């Protein structure tokens, strides 16, 4: 039996996965990873990649010899179709908890910017993906300078975003401070009931809500670094679950 094709596939996978895990386990990131692991263990949450957690004290040679690391799962792999969350890294140490009977995965994500004039860069996000199949596809967030610039650029290049409007007379606060994008206004506005819109009017979201076929996703700028960061972020996510699902 010719094992060369299988060997090529394994080496190809390792060439992508292991370098990213090596970067995670350099001195600074390794300490941050340990904080995530210890927090999840204290709270009784389930680590998405326990093999990565077990390898925190391993040498690089030991990691190369560890077959379990080749099966590590990126927490963002099934939400990369959400605008703004593609090209993400640093999400090997997510954990899953249950909030009001919903399965929620929490993780940090660093999204690489693809800008020819700046030579790249990245944006760190705190991310929660909430399992909720069958939701209409949309994204929404508070108005900002960045959002305004994106709209202007989209119109200039002939690729305007599909925006959805709500009745400004009925929801003046929401209309003044929030944007909604989606390709099917009818299903989106049906999902965003009056109670949900009133909740959003008062919630003053710090980040963006978005959906795909499996998840409701909430992400905001920043990095989850310690217990207080995780606790406060999870508390915000639980409020969203209670009011949006």
**What are 172-192's pLDDT values in tens digits?**
999 999 999 999 999 999 999
Question: Under a CB-based contact definition with an 8 Å cutoff, are residues 85 and 219 in contact?
Answer: yes
Query: Residue holding tokens 């989606």?
Result: 182
Burial environment of residue 19 by CB neighbours within 10 A (0 to 12, 13 to 18, 19 or more):
exposed
Point out which residues pair with 102 in neighbouring strands: 99
Size of the chain, expressed as the number of residues it contains: 245
The domain limits of the chain are: 4-134+214-244, 139-211
Angle 236-168-141 from CA coordinates, rounded to 5°:
30
Q: How many CB atoms within 10 Å of residue 130?
A: 24
CA 130 to CA 125: how far, in whole Å? 16
Burial environment of residue 104 by CB neighbours within 10 A (0 to 12, 13 to 18, 19 or more):
buried
In this predicted model, what pLDDT tens digit does every residue of 82-105 receive, in sequence order? 999 988 888 888 999 999 999 999
CA 226 to CA 239: how far, in whole Å? 20
**Encoded tokens for 209:** 């809500």
What's the pTM?
Answer: 0.81
Angle 26-51-84 from CA coordinates, rounded to 5°:
65
pLDDT at 199 over 60: yes
């Amino acid at each position: 039996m010719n094992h060369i094709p299988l060997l090529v596939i394994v080496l190809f996978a390792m060439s992508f996965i292991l370098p990213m895990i090596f970067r995670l386990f350099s001195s600074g990131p390794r300490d941050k990873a340990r904080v995530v692991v210890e927090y999840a263990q204290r709270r009784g949450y389930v680590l998405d990649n326990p093999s990565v957690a077990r390898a925190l004290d391993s040498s690089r040679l030991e990691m190369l010899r560890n077959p379990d690391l080749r099966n590590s799962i990126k927490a963002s792999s099934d939400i990369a179709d959400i605008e703004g969350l593609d090209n993400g890294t640093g999400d090997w140490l997510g954990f899953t908890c249950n909030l009001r009977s919903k399965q929620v995965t929490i993780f940090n994500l660093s999204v690489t910017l693809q800008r020819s004039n700046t030579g790249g860069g990245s944006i760190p996000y705190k991310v929660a993906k909430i399992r909720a199949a069958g939701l209409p596809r949309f994204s929404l967030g508070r108005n900002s300078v960045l959002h305004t610039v994106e709209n202007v650029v989209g119109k200039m290049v002939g690729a305007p975003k599909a925006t959805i409007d709500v009745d400004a007379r009925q929801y003046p606060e929401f209309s003044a401070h929030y944007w909604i994008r989606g390709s099917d206004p009818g299903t989106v506005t049906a999902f965003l009931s009056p109670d949900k819109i009133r909740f959003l009017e008062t919630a003053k979201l710090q980040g963006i809500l978005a959906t795909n076929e499996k998840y409701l996703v909430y992400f905001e700028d920043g990095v989850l670094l310690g217990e207080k960061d995780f606790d406060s972020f999870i508390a915000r996510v639980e409020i969203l679950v209670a009011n949006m699902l």
